[in-house]
Structure 1
Amino acid sequence: MKGQLSKTQNPLVFWTLISCLSLSYIAVSVQALDHQGNEFSGAPRKLAGTTTLAQCLAVGGARTAFPGTTAYTNARSVFNLANQYAPAAFVFPTTVVQVQNALQCSKQFGIGIVPRGGGHSYEDYSLGGRNGVLVVDMTGFTSISYNEAAQTATIGSGWRLGPLYLALWNLGKVTIPAGDCPTVGVAGISLGGGWGFTSRKFGVVSDNILEAQVVIANGTLVTANAQQNSDLYFALRGAGATSFGIVTQFTFRVHDVSGPITRFDYSWTNKAQQFQAFKAFQIWGVNAVPEISASFYMDPFGNSNIEGVYLGPQTSLPPLIKTFVANIPTPASSDTVQTDWITLVVHNAGFPDGSNPTTVLSNPTPPTRTFKAKSIYVNPPGLSDAGINAMINAMRQDSNDNAYFIFDLYGATSNINKVATSATAFVHRTSLFSIQMVAYWNQNVGQKNADLTFISNYWNAVCPFATAEAYQNYIDNAEPLSAYFGSNLNTLTRIKLKWDPKNVFNFPQGIPM
């Protein structure tokens, strides 16, 4: 969504911004209630002497931004400009007490409250999904500590991926298995699952959450892990970005990435080659080793390419992709490079090769786009020939060439799929790949309706050959919750009933009662 490409542009230049899409860290209106819906005796009391929201928030001492100010206009900018909701105010806490104060103010003034991490929600839920909410921007929560012996890292929920990758590399050459876009918030991607180029080896990010500190509806801070509040811990790992509270801190299992890393890519520019290249990808992907993660890209221009990452040296890669290489059409270009982890992060984030990681990752600038996205999962052995043809034919109905499609490999052999569907709220454990489908119109508002129709028609064409599941980090307001949570939805509903029987966490596409 870097702007419409000409048909002569290299799709690899465009590829690097695709991963900047992620579900923003969201929650919902909160009140000081216990699990039965009654006020706790120790709940925060109404703040005496405050007659305006500004006065109430001032009690906490956090920076704020209100309509009519430059600070508000700047804060209102988010990744997807398709829905420009108007919050009542923004608050920028740096302490738990300030988060608790914001919750109390939202209750006192009867407005919703939404924590925001990176602002990358596909449906602009990081602005509340509606007008008039209080947005709690969590980017001030950037504490970090690394336990080398335990291979864990405890971090504030306000980190974005680029700065976090850099910090973890500098602390111990370790990482979490999240995505490529450096401005995505760690909270949103983690609480919604979180696929990245080490996920097939290390699991999705939510699999690596060992503990979370959460400000719940009564304003208190609770610990959620396997031993304490285990039902909340279950819900946070895959459904935690919508309905259960404001996470202020995570403890993650981290993974050693100090060894050699090999990236590879193959590209095609001929429409006639798309079928064969994609079919080779999914045939190979069924048995690809967990040390390799990969994504396939396709667009209406006729461009296709695969980008992959191997957690190992370049000399060991050829036999691991032999099946793929044997079945692909002759590529227009290909490349295989041995590198190190932080250099790979810089490359995959779209920065020029040779860029200084500290310079480009420390404070990356969030992009803005205008688009509509949908997603769907496909189980092994993948799409049938009829399914591939239906998919490609539907894609080529885009007369404006303003769409792209990404196929993120999960695969039967990955550690993502070795986790039981009922182990966490992230239910997508049987898939070969997910399909991300995006149509973008940017400033061309007159193109919007045609793009919305096109992307829905593409989804409808693929659906008979796929599953009923969709990826919650590619949130789509047209999808039912069953697509995101499947067989876990009933369990999540019971957890919702326990923690919020009066449904005070009333939020678009939140967990229902």
Structure 2
Amino acid sequence: MAQHDPAGLLRRRFLIGAAGVGGASVLGLQGTAHAAAPAATTAATTTTTVGPVSVTSADQQYPDLVRALNARYVAGPESVKVIDSPSQVAPIITEAVKANKRVTIRSGGHCLEDFVYNSSTQVVLDLSNMNGVYYEPAKNAICVEAGATLLDVYSKLYAAWGITIPGGICYSVGMGGHVSGGGWGMLVRRNGLVVDHLYAVEVVTVAADGSVKTVHATREATDPHRELWWAHTGGGGGNFGVVTRYYFRSPGATGTDPRGLLPKPPAEVLFSAVSWSWSDLTREEFVRLVQNYSSWHVANIGPDSPNRFVTSFMLLNHKSNGQIGLITQVDAAAPNAQQLLDNYLAYINQGVNAVRGALTSPMGEVAAMPQFAAARRLPWLQATRFAGTTNPQLNDPTLRAEYKSAYMKASFPAAQAESLYKHLTRTDIDNPKINIQLTPYGGMTNAVAEGDTAVVHRGAAFKMLWSVLWNEASEDAKYIAWTRESYEETYADTGGVPVPNAVTDGCYVNYPDADLSDPQRNRSTVPWHQLYYKGNYPRLQEAKKKYDPRDFFRHTQSVRLPGA
């Protein structure tokens, strides 16, 4: 999955870390930093770049650069600016400001709405070749450029230093948007969110007078730009400027050895994939399954829970798939790891007569995994690579999709669980790629206060993702309608959306949903920004006012200026 690496640029950045950083030093083979020769004085510190390149409709590659992963979204910008160095961003933004051009930013292309690729986009800034990963001595942190993709980051951090960041599952998600929205993944309960380990961010901003500045913002209490750092710990992408680099160092980390700056992932994991056949499940058993999943996560929400080492997600597929799936990963070094897994699977199966079997059907973005019907022990990186890359759906260029999300605080009320059953068993729909995912939260995520980061849903026990996939444009209306109907009926008691209350807790900004802004779809009294940010929204607006007072960086659901 490695991206194109012209002239070995990525390898040089990873091993050297000096080019384009200013003051970065050469890495020792054991991961410690040593003094470097002055930059650009030797061939060893010289890198060859391919950017910036301006691609227009006259160029053969243009059609490939103006579309999202979701084939529903294709734009027609005047140009796509392809870059591979943070220093190339500011001049492009300066030119766009002077020409009053609408700029959108791509890191990995996984935005689930049309925020990057839409009819108003005039310039797309493509960061996908800006993907370096290196140690930065000046900040004593691991630097990850915004175009790097998740599996590439995991592989580099682990190979060199035996460390990781607790980011997402899908291998090709770009860091730029993933981190700024408060990314989560298979280590969420063990190590928290990726932003819980974010030390600093480098952002290209536009001031009120149109001048373009590159700002370094850290979490240090004395940093005058600390609010810009805070805004990027869950405030969403495309709101405040162009993120060029993230710098990671866990709170409490000491020393200057990169091996001690971020968490070590499990050396090995127990990986399990099981299923229940739809033909064996009654409505009551389906309801019991989802309530078991939810009540376990509610009971084990705490950061000190022994079960924080258990991470599991349930795939509630449409009945045409044939199966419901459950994928579970346990840190193999956790005390009584096998017992933790056995107890978990037994809990999920309580009150269900249907026999648990192998997961033999692909499920949305998850491949069939029959070999894991009995848990297998795998090295962590192998398990991570397997979970993130094995499904060809992830690389289907015709894939169209609709998504919705919810945070859940409490176990499913019967009415919500029965609504899920009703819509997943509808006979007017026949699509095995429809699924509603129940995904893990809590654990170490629950250890951080709501205001410490922009991610505000710290009291949630688990999350939900409506993931509806299809291939033909002629079927857009049918599948969008199914998604809306199933979602809005599930939350019918609160205006069709999961408003923050004792049971539900709003929506995940990295699964953006434009319907939340539509009063015909969101019939509650809670606006879209409160669903994403709750009480943190006014603070995000103040950051917007300070760092993007012209509202240069904007999209359908971008943070609004105060009073707007």
Alpha-carbon distance, 1:185 to partner:
0.4
Residues 286-435 of structure 1 correspond to what in structure 2 (within 5 A)? 286-288=298-300, 289-301=307-319, 302-313=322-333, 316-319=337-340, 321-328=342-349, 329=352, 330-333=355-358, 334-351=373-390, 369-380=399-410, 382-397=411-426, 399-402=428-431, 403-411=434-442, 414-435=443-464
TM-score (norm 1): 0.80
Alpha-carbon displacement from aligned partner over 1:119-155 (angstroms, at most 9, x marks no partner): 011113232x43342111112222222489x994212
Match of 1:260 among 260, 268, 288: 268
Match of 1:74 among 56, 60, 64: 64
Match of 1:473 among 510, 523, 541: 510
Aligned 8 A contact 1:397 1:454 in 2: no
Q: Residue type of the partner of 1:278?
A: V
SS of the equivalent of 1:195 reads: coil
Aligned 8 A contact 2:200 2:248 in 1: yes
Q: Give the direction of change, closer, same or farther, for the CA distance of 1:119–1:492 in structure 2 (3 Å limit).
A: same
Q: Does 1:245 align with 2:265?
A: no
Alpha-carbon displacement from aligned partner over 1:64-102 (angstroms, at most 9, x marks no partner): 210132121121232101122222211112233321111
CA distance in 2, matches of 1:175, 1:335: 27
| Structure 2: segments with no counterpart, 5+ residues | 1-49, 250-261, 301-306, 359-372, 499-503, 517-527
CA distance in 1, matches of 2:437, 2:455: 20
CA distance in 2, matches of 1:417, 1:124: 31
Quote the residue 2:84 is aligned against. Answer: 94
Quote the residue 1:14 is aligned against. Answer: none
Q: Residue type of the partner of 2:435?
A: Y
Aligned 8 A contact 2:203 2:244 in 1: yes
Q: Does 1:140 align with 2:126?
A: no
Q: Give the direction of change, closer, same or farther, for the CA distance of 1:168–1:368 in structure 2 (3 Å limit).
A: farther
Range moving further from structure 2, 451-460 or 464-473: 464-473
Aligned 8 A contact 2:330 2:337 in 1: no
Residues 127-276 of structure 1 correspond to what in structure 2 (within 5 A)? 127=117, 129-146=118-135, 152-217=141-206, 218-227=211-220, 228=223, 229-253=225-249, 254-257=262-265, 259-270=267-278, 271-272=281-282, 273-276=285-288
Aligned 8 A contact 1:173 1:258 in 2: no
Q: Residue type of the partner of 1:261?
A: V
SS of the equivalent of 1:175 reads: coil
Q: Residue type of the partner of 1:470?
A: C
- For CA contacts below 8 A with separation 6 or more, give which structure has more relative contact order: 1
Q: Give the direction of change, closer, same or farther, for the CA distance of 1:468–1:199 in structure 2 (3 Å limit).
A: closer
Tell me the matched-pair count. Answer: 438
Q: Residue type of the partner of 1:335?
A: A
Q: Give the direction of change, closer, same or farther, for the CA distance of 1:84–1:349 in structure 2 (3 Å limit).
A: same
Quote the residue 1:53 is aligned against. Answer: none
Alpha-carbon displacement from aligned partner over 1:234-284 (angstroms, at most 9, x marks no partner): 111111412111111111132212522111222111242433322222222
Alpha-carbon displacement from aligned partner over 1:402-458 (angstroms, at most 9, x marks no partner): 3211111113xx111221111111111111211101223312x23211211211111
Q: Give the direction of change, closer, same or farther, for the CA distance of 1:346–1:504 in structure 2 (3 Å limit).
A: closer
CA distance in 2, matches of 1:343, 1:323: 23
Q: Residue type of the partner of 1:474?
A: Y
Aligned 8 A contact 2:67 2:75 in 1: no
Q: Residue type of the partner of 2:215?
A: V
Aligned 8 A contact 2:203 2:245 in 1: yes
SS of the equivalent of 1:216 reads: strand
**Amino-acid identity (%):** 21
Q: Give the direction of change, closer, same or farther, for the CA distance of 1:401–1:419 in structure 2 (3 Å limit).
A: farther
Quote the residue 1:115 is aligned against. Answer: 105
Q: Give the direction of change, closer, same or farther, for the CA distance of 1:471–1:321 in structure 2 (3 Å limit).
A: farther
Match of 1:282 among 276, 290, 294: 294
Quote the residue 2:28 is aligned against. Answer: none
Alpha-carbon displacement from aligned partner over 1:318-376 (angstroms, at most 9, x marks no partner): 24551541451320223311111111112102439xxxxxxx9xxx9685520111111
Q: Give the direction of change, closer, same or farther, for the CA distance of 1:115–1:427 in structure 2 (3 Å limit).
A: same
SS of the equivalent of 2:399 reads: coil
Residues 472-511 of structure 1 correspond to what in structure 2 (within 5 A)? 472-479=509-516, 480-511=528-559
| Structure 1: segments with no counterpart, 5+ residues | 1-59, 353-359
Alpha-carbon displacement from aligned partner over 1:108-129 (angstroms, at most 9, x marks no partner): 22111122110011113232x4
SS of the equivalent of 1:344 reads: helix
CA distance in 2, matches of 1:505, 1:186: 18
CA distance in 1, matches of 2:457, 2:339: 30
CA distance in 2, matches of 1:497, 1:184: 29
Alpha-carbon distance, 1:316 to partner:
2.0
Aligned 8 A contact 1:260 1:340 in 2: yes
Quote the residue 1:452 is aligned against. Answer: 480
Q: Does 1:441 align with 2:441?
A: no
CA distance in 1, matches of 2:403, 2:134: 36
Q: Residue type of the partner of 1:125?
A: F
